[in-house]
Structure 1
């Protein structure tokens, strides 16, 4: 059991660099019902009249066009729109790139940003497909950082068993019981237990169409249920692929334990918010 839990901790450590959140309605930071009926990115994604979308211009690379989903993540979408319209993202960078996982940006390294954080917003119809646009959160709270899923590898969940997830949930809860409920250790281990509980919930609610799309286009389904997916790339996949292929080095922003910092800065020149006509 100890070996299995340690393996789980290492896996979670990779994900927690995005600062994992919890979508359970009783958890801090949660703000939506994942079963709410909305039109998400699980079906065909295209811009239609009245849609909000973002055009992210990246210096020396080109544009990435992203359809936004205010019905799926009203707080998150409006926050991003407000930040983009204020020019906040102009000059920011993609500071973390992990091949076959995601490209992360929008961090204010000055520490002077005064943006009120808000809870994650999840929905069964918003998934981490290749090109999904999502918030990187800190213990269930979103702010300014985002990531774009860059994994194009087919993900086959047609016969996935959640038994291993149950083992992780139980293991983390067992570890938590060894500590006082007011301790950081207890909070951490229970947070991880909830992470896997949320993931299990989203896997169990993955319909055939969603499974088929993950198999066709790829993505990172292991992040489902714990991060706000509020957009989907519709154009500029070639730009995303070029960014994802850059040379990287040890990333001090990630504690120096991950090789993910682009050797050459990837600069966001501007983000424009538009209405599709």
Structure 2
């Protein structure tokens, strides 16, 4: 029975990663990162595809790096706030959140950055990868009590075996995951940064479609 459950879990994982319809590649100074975009977060998937078409992430920067947490890229929070403050119409375009139990903050997850807006809506041109840290049963128990949630069997298994950042679940939209090149983002996460978590040397990336 245990063998059957393990086999079923592996099949589900493979179908999740490879059964989706869109894959993209991040070309960085440290290697390539291949990512599957989730079809069950279609608005964020389509936003990324539009960003590729518009070259939004062509020569962009990973500009906020915290080891054991996330590697963030695209337009920085500071620049977004400055640009929006200068807009006389006070426009703050955002994309409404998409939360799905299959999309959670495991190591290698791709998420959309946001500010502290009450709707938890995403920025249109900022992404991050979860590099995460070790997660324990006690961590999950405390988060379930604090957030009023219950982690699924799959979520618990992945968090306990591989780590992540479960405290971000339900607050930030995850819309994809790395299926090849996890070592690249982990190497980037270990780069030296200044006191504001900017890397000391620019780390550029470009996003394009892949087969």
User: How far is the alpha carbon of 1:92 from its aligned partner?
Assistant: 1.1
Contact 1:99 1:150 in 2 (8 A): yes
Q: Residue 235 of structure 1 aligns with which residue?
A: 180
Q: Residue 34 of structure 2 aligns with which residue?
A: 65
- Cα deviations across residues 206-251 of structure 1 (Å, max 9, x unaligned)? 1223211111111000000111100010011111111000001122
TM-score where L is the length of structure 2: 0.79
The unaligned stretches of length 5 or more in structure 2 are 1-11, 85-90
Asked which structure has the greater CA Rg, the reply is 1
The unaligned stretches of length 5 or more in structure 1 are 1-42, 166-198, 252-259
What does 1:117-196 correspond to in 2, within 5 Å? 117-138=94-115, 139=117, 140-142=120-122, 143-156=124-137, 160-161=141-142, 165=146
Q: Residue 148 of structure 2 aligns with which residue?
A: 200
Q: Residue 217 of structure 1 aligns with which residue?
A: 162
Tell me the distance in 2 between the aligned counterparts of 1:53 and 1:163: 32
Contact 2:110 2:129 in 1 (8 A): yes
Contact 1:156 1:214 in 2 (8 A): no
Structural RMSD (CA): 2.5
Contact 1:85 1:273 in 2 (8 A): no
Tell me the distance in 2 between the aligned counterparts of 1:57 and 1:155: 33
Structure 1's 250 and 211: CA in aligned 2 closer, same or farther, altered over 3 A? Answer: same
TM-score where L is the length of structure 1: 0.61
User: How far is the alpha carbon of 1:68 from its aligned partner?
Assistant: 0.4
